[in-house]
């Protein structure tokens, strides 16, 4: 479900006023808080502080109270009663944060929640908020209530830009599935993106009579076309046999050569820890090996002079990779691909031999699921475990 934020009107407040929540959540009824209802219905207070949230059908789904002070945006929210308890809170707060980023460019977000509301606290934690210290607030009517303070930085790690990126994958089409929307976004923003495809893709056909040699040729051509669609600067094939990839001194040397040659600011690769996904997918052996090769080139191969000294004779000096992003089932970084998902799908269609005619609905559904999981209000997203491998602010005088 998507969320659409607009200014709150007095008519909206009349709708919100009749919403009723089941105990113990009935404390959120506006009838239980006349002061808040009066504030909402004050036309002067509506401008710039109170907002309506509509669902995709255009129906009022909730409201937001947001204000900015000294770089922090304070967020208060309410959802329509029939939408609560359905796992929609993370995407709802994510939409609020995305709106606030565009409007105020804050440094942090903050909010208060009742300490007993475990459901809300879980949703906020999934959206990146951390728990602070409980406190007691005294209201003008003399009543006191206990709240838990929660906050999070407003920055979005997924919006980071790199000057150069190396996408390391096992097969043709792996990059498009794994990171196609992100690659398109980066390339559009000026990042120099390079693909390194470790195998030849020669096991990509089950057709009787198909040969590895013919299949490899087709798949390389398709991969280069897909890369062109996304704006990738170069594609390098390392020529290992599809289906039997191993982490050996030979494959480590090949990957190390490309990393030292291209010297990327970030390497993007599969997560080698991913053995399966859900109950319907077992990860390909080669994907896991590609992920292990990414970890191995980060440490010890690319930065260590004693590793593969023959590469020094080729003029390839050691290189310390600053960032490693793994396409992980346990991500901490999400990239908004709402503007590039159609290009991702177009690039996947370039892999005609892999039967991509029906891939678009699945790709969109998966990206929507990741977007919801992000808690950042993204309609479509890709997800990564981001590992920072160098000091951001090295003290050269130390």
37-75: per-residue pLDDT in tens?
Answer: 666 666 545 566 899 999 988 999 999 999 999 999 999
Q: Considering the chain, what is the average pLDDT of its residues?
A: 90
Q: Which of 195, 242, 246, 248 is nearest to 223 (CA)?
A: 195
CATH of residue 30's domain is 3.40.630.30
pLDDT tens digits for 230-252?
Answer: 999 999 999 999 999 999 999 99
Range of lowest pLDDT (219-223, 260-264, 360-364, 394-398): 394-398
Residue 396's pLDDT band (cuts 50, 70, 90): very low
Please indicate, yes or no, if residue 10 is contained in any of the structural domains: yes
Residues 119 and 162 in one domain: no
pLDDT of residue 47: 60
Quick one: which of 321, 309, 219, 316 has its CA closest to 265? 321
174 and 302 in a single domain? The answer is yes
Name the more confident of 316 and 143: 316
| Residue 123 resides in a domain | yes
Q: What is the pLDDT of residue 3?
A: 84
Section 8-17 average pLDDT:
88
Dump pLDDT digits (tens) for 187-199.
999 999 999 999 9
The predicted pLDDT at position 49 comes to 87
Q: Could you list the residue range(s) of the whole structural domain that residue 330 is in? A: 158-388
Provide the CATH number for the domain around residue 321.
Answer: 3.40.50.10320
Ordered alpha helix ranges (H), 315-392: 341-349, 359-374
Confidence of residue 91 (pLDDT cuts 50, 70, 90): confident
What is the per-residue pLDDT for 286? 97
Mean pLDDT of 294-300: 98
pLDDT at 395 over 50: no
Q: Is residue 226 left, alpha or beta, with left meaning phi > 0 and alpha meaning psi from -120 to 50?
A: alpha
Q: Are residues 150 and 162 in the same domain?
A: no
Given a contact cutoff of 8 angstroms between Cβ atoms, the answer to whether 334 and 382 are in contact is yes
Q: In terms of domains, do 30 and 173 share one?
A: no
Instruction: State the sign of the Cα–Cα–Cα–Cα dihedral 38, 41, 43, 49.
Output: positive
Q: Which of 15, 81, 26, 18 is nearest to 52 (CA)?
A: 15
Helix spans in 105-173 (H): 118-126
Residues 233, 365, single domain; the answer is yes
| Residue 395 in domain | no
The answer as to whether 197 is a domain residue is yes
Whether residue 232 is contained in a domain is answered as yes
* Category of 315 on φ-ψ map: left (φ > 0), alpha (ψ -120 to 50) or beta: left
Distance, in Å, from the CA atom of 190 to the CA atom of 162, rounded to the nearest integer, reads 8
Residues 151 and 163 grouped into a single domain: no
What pLDDT is recorded for position 17?
85
What CA–CA distance (Å, rounded) separates 257 from 245? 17
User: Is the CA virtual torsion 321, 325, 330, 332 positive or negative?
Assistant: positive
pLDDT for the residue 35: 64
Among 85, 92, 81, which residue's Cα sits nearest to residue 51?
92
Point out the domain boundary residue: 155, 184, 210. 155
**Crossing angle of helices 341-349/212-230, nearest 10°?**
160
Measured CA to CA, the distance from residue 275 to residue 282 in angstroms comes to: 6
Look at residue 167 and give its three-state secondary structure: strand
Quick one: 10 and 137 in the same domain?
yes
pLDDT at 159 over 80: no
Contacts 24+ apart (CB under 8 A), 338-343: 338/371, 338/378, 338/379, 338/380, 338/381, 339/185, 340/180, 340/181, 340/182, 340/184, 340/185, 340/188, 341/181, 341/367, 341/380, 343/180, 343/181, 343/184, 343/229, 343/230
- Number of domains observed in the structure of the chain: 2
What integer pLDDT is reported at residue 42 of this predicted model? 66
Residue 398 lies in a domain: no
Q: What is the pLDDT of residue 79?
A: 94
pLDDT in tens, 273-290: 999 988 889 999 999 999
């Amino acid at each position: 479900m998507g969320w659409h934020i607009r200014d709150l009107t007095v008519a909206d407040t009349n709708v919100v006023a009749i919403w009723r929540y089941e105990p113990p959540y009935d404390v959120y009824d506006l009838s239980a808080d006349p002061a808040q209802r009066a504030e909402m219905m004050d036309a002067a207070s509506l401008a710039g502080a109170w907002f309506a949230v509509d669902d995709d059908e255009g129906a009022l789904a909730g409201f937001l109270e947001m204000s900015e002070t000294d770089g922090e945006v304070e967020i208060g929210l309410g959802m329509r009663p029939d939408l609560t308890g359905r796992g929609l809170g993370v995407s709802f707060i994510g939409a609020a944060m995305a709106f606030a980023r565009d409007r105020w460019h804050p440094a942090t977000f903050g909010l208060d929640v009742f300490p007993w509301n475990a459901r809300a606290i879980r949703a906020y934690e999934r959206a990146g908020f951390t728990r602070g210290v409980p406190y007691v607030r005294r209201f003008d009517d003399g009543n006191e209530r206990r709240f838990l303070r929660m906050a999070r930085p407003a920055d979005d790690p997924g919006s980071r830009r790199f000057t150069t990126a190396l996408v390391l994958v096992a097969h043709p089409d792996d990059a498009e599935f794994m990171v196609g929307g992100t690659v398109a976004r980066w390339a559009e923003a000026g990042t120099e993106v390079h693909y390194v495809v470790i195998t030849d893709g020669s096991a990509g056909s089950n057709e009787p009579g198909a040969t590895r040699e013919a299949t490899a040729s087709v798949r390389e051509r398709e991969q280069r076309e897909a890369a062109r669609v996304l704006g990738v600067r170069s594609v390098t094939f390392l020529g290992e046999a599809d289906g039997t990839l191993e982490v050996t001194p030979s494959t480590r040397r090949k990957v190390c050569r490309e990393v030292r040659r291209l010297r990327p600011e970030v390497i993007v690769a599969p997560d080698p820890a991913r053995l399966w996904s859900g109950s319907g997918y077992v990860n390909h052996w080669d994907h896991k090996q590609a992920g292990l090769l990414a970890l191995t080139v980060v440490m010890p191969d690319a930065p260590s002079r004693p590793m593969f000294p023959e590469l020094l004779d080729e003029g390839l000096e050691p290189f310390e990779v600053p960032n490693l992003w793994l396409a992980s089932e346990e991500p901490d970084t999400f990239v908004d691909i709402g503007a590039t998902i159609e290009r991702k799908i177009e690039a996947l269609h370039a892999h005609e031999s892999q039967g991509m005619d029906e891939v678009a609905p699945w790709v969109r559904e998966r990206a929507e699921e990741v977007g919801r999981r992000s808690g950042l209000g993204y309609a479509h997203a890709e997800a990564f475990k981001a590992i920072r491998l160098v000091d951001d602010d090295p003290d050269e005088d130390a």
